[in-house]
């Protein structure tokens, strides 16, 4: 892989890492601790923020995948890129729809304590795995 391609893919990867850390692991849990933020308000904000994050992540995933695929990647770079992209796709296709239905129900007045959902735990687990894949990918790209 040439150094220019590795630099571009690495930069996008680490910006992606920063966004996931800032939003998923900092903003999301903290917003519910702010004074006056109710569960419906927090859910409304969260839906907007995660919709925007996921859109940017999709763009980053395409950019990284295209740059890595067209630059004679190492097996590690290919595998880690594929892992991050697949984990993002699973989040978007399999986990986000149940989370959206759950937040729709809560926003419509359903008591969140009545029907617990594990979708959020799956999302966090996938987010953690994706973050690990992205950090490893960024390190592999830096070593190119």
- The C-alpha atoms of residue 34 and residue 19 are separated, in whole angstroms, by 21
The one-character DSSP state at 80 is H
- The C-alpha atoms of residue 31 and residue 100 are separated, in whole angstroms, by 18
- Predicted local confidence at residue 79, as pLDDT: 98
- Predicted local confidence at residue 117, as pLDDT: 81
Other CB atoms within 10 A of residue 120 CB: 15
- Predicted local confidence at residue 122, as pLDDT: 96
Q: What is the pTM of this model?
A: 0.94
For the record, the structure tokens of 46 come out as 């969260």
Degrees to nearest 5, angle at CA 26 with 39 and 136: 135
- Predicted local confidence at residue 132, as pLDDT: 98
Q: From first to last of the 144 residues of the chain, give the pLDDT tens digit.
A: 899 999 999 999 999 999 999 999 999 999 989 999 998 899 999 999 999 999 999 999 999 999 999 999 999 999 999 999 999 999 999 999 999 998 898 888 888 777 778 999 999 999 999 999 999 999 999 998
Half-sphere exposure of 37 (CA within 13 A, CB side): 14
- Predicted local confidence at residue 81, as pLDDT: 98
């Amino acid at each position: 892989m040439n150094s220019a391609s590795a630099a571009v893919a690495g930069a996008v990867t680490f910006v992606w890492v920063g966004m996931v850390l800032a939003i998923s692991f900092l903003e999301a849990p903290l917003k519910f601790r702010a004074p006056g933020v109710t569960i419906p308000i927090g859910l409304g904000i969260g839906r907007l923020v995660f919709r925007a994050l996921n859109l940017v992540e999709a763009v980053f995933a395409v950019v990284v995948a295209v740059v890595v695929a067209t630059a004679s990647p190492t097996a590690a770079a290919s595998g880690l890129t594929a892992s991050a992209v697949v984990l993002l796709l699973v989040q978007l296709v399999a986990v986000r729809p149940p989370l959206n239905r759950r937040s729709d129900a809560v926003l419509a007045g359903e008591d969140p304590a009545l029907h617990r959902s594990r979708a959020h735990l799956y999302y966090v687990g996938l987010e953690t795995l994706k973050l690990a894949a992205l950090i490893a990918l960024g390190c592999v790209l830096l070593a190119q």
